[in-house]
Amino acid sequence: MATLKYGGYVGHIGTYRVKGNGTNQRSSPFIKSNNVVRQLSAGTLFRNGQTTDAGQLVNGSRRWYGSTNGGLWLHSSVVTKVSAVPYRPTFRKQGDGSRYQWSNCNPASHAMAADRHRRGVDPRNHHGWKPTPVEIRNRLIAVYGDRNGTSLPQNDVAVQHLYLVNMDVRYNIPWSSFRSMIISGRGAVVPIWYGVLPAKYDASPGFNGGHAVYVNERRSSDGAFLVYDPMADGRRRGIPKGPMWWPATLLAKAAYAYPGTNSGCIHASLTKDTE
Amino acid sequence: MPAKHQKKPAPRTNAPVKDHKKHADEILADEKYKKKPDTYQELNDEAKP
């Protein structure tokens, strides 16, 4: 837990790199003659545990980055953020030749979510690793019977049994809350309506139904989401292959369009916060 | 002098979330998002190869 000081809040968290030699690190977000703790050299890494927008105005900004205990501060203009990439799971395609391959979007998406949840670490039980769509499907058949359709909670039960992964299934969460969940370090399986996708993102031309995708992260520069569509296997020309950055507006539109969701809300099954 | 009975400004909606982790944890803990709605549909995509 951060000890918030000087109007600090938990935001812009991450690792930052000092730009220049002789950068003063201070005990408070103000320029004073008696609060320099040390001088840092270019390239020094600083872990930001809190941010204040109420420090001394420097170069047009009052933003300072502070340590978790609020005892060390650097002005935002003297550092650059080191990009933090969350764990990226192995892409799993649903078209794997198995019996239910073209109805297997949910198990395939949950295979990727389970991989993210565990950050690729094998639970070392008697099931396979890494997670596969067919192993999850076989578990679903064993528990719920031989049928095409699968639900988020059913897949949650299956990945708990197979990989010790406990997903958080939530319904009709506001889009802004979903965005916070992704930004703060969770992955998610999201039901979407496939018919709204433009050709560039369409991995099954002519299909216009419910589908599940796995969402791994959000890019801060443009707000796009890294989406793993299990149908995007590049099986022929014109079919996208592997994870793609989807504009936030597109993912929201597709998730809103899934039948049964309230206006402005989506369903999602969230991994734990892995970051 | 401000009027005595000035109308309060409307609460801000869509205010930027300052602490995403805290907000995410609050929503995840909220019971109202855990209940599966009657309108929930299984995923039965039957996509086209």
Contacts 24+ apart (CB under 8 A), A238-243: A238/A199, A238/A205, A239/A203, A239/A204, A240/A200, A240/A201, A240/A202, A240/A203, A242/A91, A243/A88, A243/A91, A243/A216
Pairing, β A79-81 against β A14-18: antiparallel
Q: Which position has the higher pLDDT, B46 or B40?
A: B40
A13, A144, A180, A235: which to substitute to probe chain B, counting the most B Cβ within 10 Å?
A: A180
Indicate whether A260 pLDDT > 80: yes
Res B11: pLDDT:
43
| Chain B environment of A207 (Cβ under 8 Å) | 45-48
Res A81: pLDDT:
80
What's the mean per-residue pLDDT of chain A? 93
Does the beta-carbon distance from A181 to B33 stay under 8 Å? no
**Those residues with Cβ within 8 angstroms of residue A202's Cβ, 6 or more apart along the chain or in another chain:** A194, A240
In angstroms, how far is CA A253 from the centroid of its own chain? 18
Which tens digits make up the pLDDT trace of A147-168? 888 999 999 999 999 999 999 9
Count, residues in chain A = 275
| Chain A environment of B16 (Cβ under 8 Å) | none
- Cis (ω within 30 of 0) for the bond into A130? yes
Does the beta-carbon distance from B20 to A11 stay under 8 Å? yes
Q: What angle do CA B8, A180, A183 make, to 5 degrees?
A: 140
Kindly state the helix (H) or strand (E) to which residue A163 belongs, with its residue range: helix A152-163
Which tens digits make up the pLDDT trace of A25-70? 999 999 999 999 999 988 888 888 999 999 999 999 999 999 999 9
Torsion of CA A129, A132, A134, A137, to 10 degrees: 90
Average pLDDT (A207-215) is 95
Q: Give me A9's structure tokens.
A: 């809040």
Does the beta-carbon distance from A102 to B49 stay under 8 Å? yes
Res A83: pLDDT:
62
Res A130: pLDDT:
96
HSE-CB for A15 with a 13 A CA cutoff: 8
Indicate whether A180 pLDDT > 70: yes
What ipTM, to 2 d.p.? 0.71
Indicate whether A213 pLDDT > 80: yes
Whole-prediction pTM: 0.73
Res B5: pLDDT:
52
Res B1: pLDDT:
44
Which tens digits make up the pLDDT trace of A225-253? 999 999 999 999 999 999 999 999 999 99
B31, B45, B46, B48: which to substitute to probe chain A, counting the most A Cβ within 10 Å?
A: B45
- The closest alpha carbon to A158, from A229, A210, A109, A120, belongs to A109
Q: Find the residue in B nearest to A49 (Cα).
A: B19
Res A72: pLDDT:
96
Chain A nearest C-alpha distance from B5 (Å): 31
Write down the residue that tokens 């998610």 correspond to: A188
Write down the residue that tokens 């999850």 correspond to: A136
pLDDT confidence band for B12 (50 / 70 / 90): very low
Exposed, middle or buried by CB within 10 Å (0-12, 13-18, 19+), for A253?
A: middle
Res B41: pLDDT:
82
Does the beta-carbon distance from B49 to A210 stay under 8 Å? no
Does the beta-carbon distance from A171 to B34 stay under 8 Å? yes
Please spell the DSSP secondary structure of B1-49, one letter per residue. ---TTPPPPPPPSSPPPS-HHHHHHHHHH-GGGTSPPTT---B------
Which tens digits make up the pLDDT trace of A58-94? 999 999 999 999 999 999 999 988 766 889 999 999 9
Q: What angle do CA A62, A65, A66 make, to 5 degrees?
A: 125
Res B16: pLDDT:
67
- The closest alpha carbon to A269, from A158, A155, A183, A125, belongs to A155
Quick check: B49 contacting A, CB < 8 Å? yes
Torsions phi, psi for A85 (to 5 deg): -100, 125
